[in-house]
Amino acid sequence: MISIKNILTLIKTKKSNITLNEFLNIKDIPKDKNYLVTLDGQIILFIKVNPINTDLLSEDELEAKMDLMSVEFANEQYPYKILVIPRAVDISEHIHEQEELKNKCESDISQKIVEQRIKFTSNLVADKDIIENEFYLLIWVKEEENAEVEINKRANNWISRFRNCELHSEILKETDIILLVKSFTIPEFARTEGTDYRDNIVQIKRKE
């Protein structure tokens, strides 16, 4: 979205009164569309890829999945970027489910068990910097005739390949794109000085 080139240009020209859209290189997020239009004439489409827990895979399963991904993605001819955003774990949905379960419990003992579960989960997240990653794949095309058809064709091709690798993915719609853009300006959690999130980004390596 924003590039180093754009930042340097703004600094050199000493342009002080700029809009947020200019700073982020955003021209428009068209209503009811699934892409973003940049000021430099590009259409960007975002694909969210749900992560998997590689710790649940055996060495052989992990090796097979890596080989499959290599085959699926090796022939990609167009540029793309992978965006990894670490966020504080959101347990609100889990807590809501537990509250509903508690209301359905008829015995006092069952209600206390659910209460302890809620308390334990809340304390676990509150006392530790637990981070989960969100993964996005960005593809783009120059804004011109048939650009929307072209970008959606490429996106569906990516989703098909993710599906072949047993990965669930989805194309972000207008509202989700807006929320993603806002996350760059209104982060859900502040990164304190000295905090290192590299340990939260899983790196998979083949066996020697």
Q: Domain map of the chain by residue range?
A: 4-85+131-200, 92-127
pLDDT bucket at 186, cuts 50 / 70 / 90: low
Enter the tokens of residue 162: 């993710």
Most confident region among 19-23, 97-101, 162-166 by mean pLDDT: 162-166
What is the CA 138 to chain-centroid distance, rounded? Answer: 10
* pLDDT-based confidence at residue 52 (cuts at 50, 70, 90): confident
pLDDT-derived band at 91, boundaries 50, 70, 90: confident
Contact 105, 111 (CB under 8 A): yes
Say which residue, 61 or 48, is predicted with more confidence: 48
- Residue 108: the pLDDT is 87
Does the pLDDT of residue 155 top 90, yes or no? Answer: yes
Residue 193 pLDDT class (50, 70, 90 cuts):
very low
pLDDT band for 18, please (50, 70, 90 cuts).
Answer: low
Q: Do residues 80 and 133 lie in contact, with contact meaning Cβ atoms separated by under 8 Å?
A: no
Is residue 16's pLDDT more than 70? no
pLDDT given at position 7? 44
Does residue 23 carry a pLDDT above 60? Answer: yes
Of 3.30.70, 1.10.287, 3.30.1460, 3.30.420, which CATH number belongs to 4-85+131-200? 3.30.1460
Q: What percent of the chain has pLDDT over 90?
A: 23
pTM of the entire structure?
0.67
Q: What is the percentage of the chain residues whose pLDDT exceeds 70?
A: 72
CA distance 58 to 179: 36
Bridge partners (DSSP) listed for residue 47: 137, 171
Residue 196 reports pLDDT greater than 50? no
Distance CA 78, CA 44 (A): 13
pLDDT at 99: 87
According to DSSP, residue 56 is labeled G
pLDDT band at 37 (very low <50, low <70, confident <90, very high): very high
Mean pLDDT of the chain, nearest integer:
78
Task: Say yes or no to pLDDT of 9 above 70.
Answer: no
